[in-house]
Structure 1
Amino acid sequence: MVRVQDDLFAAINEDWLKTAKIRPDMPSASAFTDLYLSIEDDMRADTEVFAKGEKNSPAYLKNFIDFYKLANDWQTRNAQAAQPVVQSLKRITALTSFEDFSKALADLDLSGYSTSFNVGVTPDFKQADRYIFWVDEPATILPDSTYYAADNPQKEPLLATWSKMTTQLLMTAGYSADEADKIVQDAKQFDALLPDLVLSREEQMAYYKNYHPKAIHDFAAYLTTIDLQTYVNTLVGKPVDKVILSSERFWDSAKDVYTDANWSIFKSWLIAKNVAKFSSLASYDLFKQSGTFSRALTGAAQAAEPAREAYALAHQQFGFLLGEYFRIKHFSPEAKHNVETMINKMISVYRDRLTHNDWLGSDTIKKAISKLDHIAIKIGYPDQVPLRFLKRKVDLQTSLLENFEVLSKQEAQFSLDRWNTKVDTTEWGMTADTVNAYYDPQTNSINFPAGILQAPFYDFDRGASANYGGIGAVIAHEVSHAFDTNGARFDEKGSLNNWWTDEDLKKFTDKAQAIVRSWSGLDLDGAAVNPKLTLTENIADLGGLSAALQAGHTDANFSSKSFFTTWATIWRMKASAEYIKLLTSIDEHAPNKLRANEPVKNFQEFFDAFHIEKGDGMYRAPADRVSLW
């Protein structure tokens, strides 16, 4: 029997860890996935009933149900086999030069093709109430540039898996073995040009640094092989004056990537990328083949069952419609009011902590409180289902892939049409059934979908101490993101704006570095944690736990044991070795076991609750404990 004194995570979750099973098509089991899968099972069962006509569905679900029918018509999908893939690839195989590609680029992007150009419309960092045109970087085959290091043992096995998968898909799509092999080798040759140029995941996470405005003519000057100005203007449908680059490093070298000499390997890259993308929308055999590389990355044992995959595709397109159904069925007004009360109490605690802060100057404190007071609170679901999802039509007489292209174009056009207009702050980034929560620095809002407002995170009928250790800590975690090393760079209106004095910013940076040091040298099952990659989430966990603990004491029957027990429960997780390696490489969150165990070591109340003493595995000396908010 594991003692809490030695390992909080293992002790609290001991029975669950012994019995929990990872579903074969999943890389892990956890409090999050268990809840997500229970929601999926419930919603998918109702979806099936509606699709069969055994019960009338709400009118607003029509597009979701129609797309599910199309995606779940495996008899037709299997009969068509690779035919839709071959048809889609013709648009790429017909291209003979970068000149051809340049002319076709905008429409390929709109239709959902992988083109290597990751662009879109998003709120402007510097003027958060206006939409700006954003230009990102190409994605590499492997999930992060660090995978390409010569000493990374995963590089060659993963590239071999990707090569085998892509070769098989190409052969199914009509290419000979030699042709398929040539395309794959060329695609990898183009991919090899990218890792030294694109941002690593660690660099991406310091996103306040990744803002580089360029006049449109300066952006266009990066390439002569592709007409970037016409490309951007065609997408938006009007002249665009400037764009924002996430990285100058890539674009400074782009002229050496998109060269006429590289056309043939780039075309192969296009074919390879898109054969995998479109195969996932074809027959079940092709769907399974197209997920081989992903399963190698995550350690999932098998592909999703046909009906589950159909549900996932329908959710991908029309999840906001299903979210409306979910919240009506499962999220009561009483629960929403109770959560709102907890959120307001958590913000009140934060206001108190900022007011009595002993290391910030008075001017910085005032501005921090102003930002706190301007945080928008979104609970459960959007006030209105986005009308665009109601107005679209699913054509049951055409293929799934054709519908995908049409719907992709409609969604892309919706986003692009917002360029240079006022930002819609009522918009949600997650559907109501999502088991997650988030802070959005550009709208300065905290968002809690109804999906996560259930046990083990929240239970309307259980004691307050447990709820504070669960959803209370999650709420305070999201508030803390407003003051992490990224969020703290944005002001109360959501714009990138330094509201700190130089002296206070240095103190803040020093305290953040102390958190980095406290996480240095940690690993899970041999997979090392990158404390710089996980810094913002570690700050949010620490701040969230601290604020939730203070808020919990407002309850007359508060129990520290119940609080910390629930905290450990919400982070329970069992995962494949491959998935742990992937997460520690690219995820800004630390592994769940460490999220459960590390932050609590900074609170005397934790040691008192479980009688933890020097020499115990969970003990941390007072001099080594860290705090921020």
Structure 2
Amino acid sequence: MVRVQDDLFSAINEEWLKTAKIRPDMPSASSFTDLYLSIEDDMRADTKAFASGAEQSPTYLKNFIDLYKLAGDWDKRNEEGAEPIRKALKPILALNSFRDFSLALADLDLNGYASSFNVGVTPDFKQADRYIFWVDEPGTILPDSTYYADDNPQKGPLLTAWSKMTSHLLIASGYSSKQSETIVEDAKKFDALLPKLVLSREEQTEYYKNYHPKSIEDFSAYLDTIDLNAYIEKLVGKKVDKVILSSERFWKAAKEVYSEDQWPIFKNWLIAKNTNYFASFASYDLFKFAGSFSRTLTGAAQAPSSEREAYALAHSQFGFLLGEYFRIKHFSPEAKSNVESMIHKMIAVYRDRLTHNDWLGPKTIKKAINKLDHIAIKIGYPDKVPTRFLERKVDQTATLMDNYISLSRQEARFRLSRWNTKVDTSEWDMTADTVNAYYDPQSNSINFPAGILQLPFYEFKRDPAANYGGIGAVIAHEVSHAFDTNGARFDEKGSLNNWWTKDDLKEFENRAKAIVQAWTNLKIDGVPVNPKLTLTENIADLGGMSAALQAAENGDHFSARLFFSTWAAIWRMKANDEYVKLLASIDEHAPNKLRANEPVKNFQEFFDAFAIKKGDGMYRAPEDRVKLW
């Protein structure tokens, strides 16, 4: 029997860890995945009943149900075999030069093709109420640039797995073994140009640094093989005067990446990447094989069932419609009011902690409280379903792939049309049935979909100490993101703007370094954790626990044991070895076991509740405890 004094996570979750099983189509089991899968099972059962006519579907779900029927017609999809891949590749096969590619690029992007160009319209970091044109970098085959290091033992096996998958799909689409081998090898040659140029995941997490404005003339000058100005103008439908780059490093070397000499290997990269993508619309056997590389990365034993895949595909286009159905069925007005009350209590605690802060000067405190007071609160679901999802039609006489491309194009057109217009702050990034929450620095808002406002995170009638240890800590976690090393760079309006005094910012950065130090040399199942990659989330966990604990203590009959036990329970998780390695490399969140165990070591209330003393595994000396907010 594990003692709390030695390992909070293992002690609280001991019985669950013994009995929980990882589903063969999943890489892990956890409180999040268990809840997500239970929601999905419930929604899929209703979707199936609506599609069959066994139950009457709400009228607003018509588009979702129509696409689900097409996606779930596996007899037809299996009969088509690889035809969707062959059809999708025709526009690429017609290209014979970068000039051809330049002329076709906008249409390829609008239709959802992998083109290596990642662009879009998002709120401007410097003027958060206006949409700006944003330019990201190409993605690599492997999950992060660090995978390409010569001493990374996963590089070879993973590239081999990707090659095997891609070759199989190419051969199924009509290529000979020799042709497929050439395409795959060329694609990997082009991919090999990218790792030293693109941002690593660690660099990406410091997103406040990744803002580089360029005039359209300066941006266009980065390439002479592709007309970037014409490309962007065709995408947006207007002349764009400025773009924002997430990185200058890649674009300064872009002429080498997209030089005429690279055209043969780039074209084969296009063929390989799009073969893999459009296999998702082919037969079930090809769909399964197209996910084999992902399963190698995560350790999942098998592909999702055909029914799960049909549901997921329809949800990817019309999730906001299904989210509306979910919230009506499962999220009561009483629960929404109760959660809102908890949020206001948490913000009040934060206001108190900022007011009585002992390391910030009065000017910075005033600015911080002003930002806190301007945080927008979004609970459960959007005020209204975006009308565009109600208006879009699914053509039952057309193929699944053609419908998906048409719907994707409409969504892309909508998003691009917002360039240089006022930002819609009512918009949600997550559907109501999502088991997650987020802070958006550019709208300065905290967002809690109805999906996460369920057990084990929240239950309307349970002890408040449990709710504060669960959803309360999640709420305060998101508030804390407004003051992490990224969020703290944005003002109350969501714009990138330094509101700190020089001395206060220096002290803030020193305290953040102390958190990095506290997480240095930690491992999960023998895999090292990157404390710089996980810094912002560790700050949010620490600040969230601090605020939630104070809010809970202000209530009646507070139980610290119940508070900390619930905290540990929401982070329960079992994962495949491959998935543990993947998350340690790319996830800005620390491993769940460490999220449960590390923050609590900084609170005397935890030591008092469980009589933890020096020599116990969970003990941390007072001088080593860290605190930010």
Structure 1 residue 280 displacement after superposition: 1.2
1:277-426 pair list within 5 angstroms: 277-426=277-426
Tell me which residue corresponds to 2:616.
Answer: 616
Tell me which residue corresponds to 1:457.
Answer: 457
Give distance in 1, aligned partners of 2:55 and 2:523.
51
Give distance in 2, aligned partners of 1:201 and 1:569.
28
Tell me which residue corresponds to 1:212.
Answer: 212
Measured against aligned partners, the alpha-carbon deviations of 1:259-291 in whole angstroms (never above 9, x if no partner) come to 100000000000000000000111100100100
Tell me which residue corresponds to 2:496.
Answer: 496
Measured against aligned partners, the alpha-carbon deviations of 1:195-227 in whole angstroms (never above 9, x if no partner) come to 000000000000000000000000000000000
1:504-583 pair list within 5 angstroms: 504-583=504-583
1:122-137 pair list within 5 angstroms: 122-137=122-137
Q: Which amino acid in structure 2 is aligned with residue 18 of structure 1?
A: K
Give distance in 1, aligned partners of 2:283 and 2:132.
39
Structure 1 residue 556 displacement after superposition: 1.2
1:143-182 pair list within 5 angstroms: 143-182=143-182
Tell me which residue corresponds to 1:474.
Answer: 474
Unmatched runs of 5 consecutive residues or more in structure 2:
none
1:212-251 pair list within 5 angstroms: 212-251=212-251
Give distance in 2, aligned partners of 1:202 and 1:454.
32
Measured against aligned partners, the alpha-carbon deviations of 1:39-70 in whole angstroms (never above 9, x if no partner) come to 00000000000000111100000011111101
Tell me which residue corresponds to 1:442.
Answer: 442
Measured against aligned partners, the alpha-carbon deviations of 1:320-346 in whole angstroms (never above 9, x if no partner) come to 000000000000000000000000000
Measured against aligned partners, the alpha-carbon deviations of 1:50-95 in whole angstroms (never above 9, x if no partner) come to 0001111000000111111010100000000001110110110110
Tell me which residue corresponds to 1:628.
Answer: 628
Q: Which amino acid in structure 1 is aligned with residue 160 of structure 2?
A: A
Tell me which residue corresponds to 1:487.
Answer: 487
Measured against aligned partners, the alpha-carbon deviations of 1:128-186 in whole angstroms (never above 9, x if no partner) come to 00000000000000000000000000000000000000000000010000000000000
Structure 1 residue 22 displacement after superposition: 0.7
Q: What is the TM-score when the length of structure 1 is the normalising length? A: 1.00
Matched, 1:259 2:259: yes
Q: Which amino acid in structure 1 is aligned with residue 402 of structure 2?
A: E
Q: Which amino acid in structure 2 is aligned with residue 626 of structure 1?
A: V
Give distance in 2, aligned partners of 1:612 and 1:625.
15
Q: Which amino acid in structure 1 is aligned with residue 549 of structure 2?
A: L
Q: What is the TM-score when the length of structure 2 is the normalising length? A: 1.00
Tell me which residue corresponds to 2:186.
Answer: 186
Give distance in 1, aligned partners of 2:116 and 2:9.
42
Give distance in 2, aligned partners of 1:472 and 1:323.
23
Give distance in 2, aligned partners of 1:509 and 1:238.
42
Give distance in 1, aligned partners of 2:457 and 2:464.
12
Q: Which amino acid in structure 2 is aligned with residue 50 of structure 1?
A: F
Tell me which residue corresponds to 2:29.
Answer: 29
Q: Report percent identity of matched pairs.
A: 76
Give distance in 2, aligned partners of 1:281 and 1:205.
33
Tell me which residue corresponds to 1:596.
Answer: 596
Q: Which amino acid in structure 2 is aligned with residue 426 of structure 1?
A: S
SS in 1 for 2:447: strand
Q: Which amino acid in structure 1 is aligned with residue 266 of structure 2?
A: F
Give distance in 2, aligned partners of 1:218 and 1:234.
18
Q: Which amino acid in structure 2 is aligned with residue 568 of structure 1?
A: A
SS in 2 for 1:574: strand
Matched, 1:48 2:74: no
Measured against aligned partners, the alpha-carbon deviations of 1:561-614 in whole angstroms (never above 9, x if no partner) come to 000000000000000000000000000000000000000000010000001000
Tell me which residue corresponds to 2:273.
Answer: 273
Give distance in 2, aligned partners of 1:404 and 1:92.
18
Structure 1 residue 355 displacement after superposition: 0.2
Which deviates more, 398-407 or 487-496? Answer: 398-407
Tell me which residue corresponds to 2:585.
Answer: 585
SS in 2 for 1:244: strand
Q: Which amino acid in structure 1 is aligned with residue 522 of structure 2?
A: L
Unmatched runs of 5 consecutive residues or more in structure 1:
none
1:106-145 pair list within 5 angstroms: 106-145=106-145
Q: Which amino acid in structure 2 is aligned with residue 112 of structure 1?
A: G
Structure 1 residue 120 displacement after superposition: 0.1
Matched, 1:7 2:14: no
Tell me which residue corresponds to 2:19.
Answer: 19
SS in 2 for 1:280: helix
